[in-house]
Amino acid sequence: MERKTKVHAEAGKQELFITREFDLPLELLFKGYVEPEIVEQWMGTKVLKLENKKHGSWQFETADAQGNVVLRSNGVIHEFVPNQKITRTFEMEHTPFPVQLEFLEFEKLTDDTSKLTMHIVYKSGAFRDQMLKLPFAQGINMAHNRLQTILDKLK
Amino acid sequence: MNLRRDVFQAIADPTRRAILLLVAAQSMTAGAIASNFDTARPTVSKHLQILTECELLSQEQNGREIYYHFNPQKMKEIADFIEPFRNMWDDRFNKLETIMKNYKPKQ
């Protein structure tokens, strides 16, 4: 299958770009970012707050299978232009990671296709690289947790 | 020396990426590689040195000539580093796309 999502992270820089082309009209793609119940489905998180307006704020909460909250994230929306762009900050609560700045640009390609460009700016190049490694680290943790669950059942 | 950082440094440069593409297709001498670029020969040599230090290229003596070989294993290490992050977003965006495709009829 073609890799639709591309990540461009140049060495030594404190930013990265995520691009993705969707088989969706621009308006539908944007709606996926605006409606809290839709965001919950594709981000796999609970939306506590999502104020889609300039100077609005947002807060998400992610729980594990047992309902324990594993991650809470929040930020402020600096710019909100429907079907064009969202500029916001992103911060993971109770982690050593500093806040990051995200520029989301939505573009119409054709009547049925659209493109999203996420430009993320980190406090430093080192923090960016640590964030890149995070899903990998989480994957290992999840595997460990599953193992723990299986082991607990054997007791 | 932080080797991992250097590997990223190595692929950040467009000329070095072009060199990697060339050598990936076929092992070549420094002269043959340089003939593909307008850049001055010493500049290409410097690029080759950086790529060799990062182990993206290896040198092999063949008679009087030194041939540069591509090291796919090292290249894979770079891809492996970003891949879980890319996968995470790809999964999310795939879900978003599926959800919104089904959303259409409700409009």
Q: CATH classification of B7-71, choosing from 3.40.50.720, 1.10.10.10, 3.30.530.80, 3.40.630.30?
A: 1.10.10.10
Would you state the pLDDT for residue B107? 47
- The residues, ordered by sequence, that sit 6+ positions from A116 with a Cβ below 8 Å of its Cβ are A18, A19, A20, A22, A29, A104, A105, A106, A107, B93
Is A29's CB within 8 Å of B96's CB?
yes
What's the pLDDT band for B2 if we cut at 50, 70, 90?
very low
Only one residue has tokens 């930013």, namely A15
- Stretch B22-50: mean pLDDT: 91
What is the residue extent of each domain of chain B?
7-71
Instruction: Sort out which chain A residues have CB atoms less than 8 A from B106's CB and list them.
Output: none
Q: How far apart are the first and last CA of chain A?
A: 42
Counting residues of chain A whose pLDDT is more than 90, the rounded percentage is 61
Could you report the per-residue pLDDT of B62-104, keeping only the tens digit for each?
899 999 999 888 877 776 778 888 888 999 999 999 999 998 5
Instruction: Sort out which chain A residues have CB atoms less than 8 A from B86's CB and list them.
Output: 3, 5-7, 18
Instruction: Sort out which chain A residues have CB atoms less than 8 A from B5's CB and list them.
Output: 11-12
Only one residue has tokens 């402020």, namely A76
Flag whether the pTM goes above 0.80.
no
**Could you tell me the two tokens for A100?**
């990051």
Rounded to whole angstroms, the Cα distance separating A124 from B97 reads 32
Question: A10 with B11: CB under 8 angstroms?
Answer: no
Could you report the per-residue pLDDT of A108-137, keeping only the tens digit for each?
999 999 999 999 999 998 888 888 877 655
- Stretch A36-43: mean pLDDT: 92
To the nearest whole angstrom, how far is the Cα of A3 from the nearest Cα of chain B?
Answer: 8
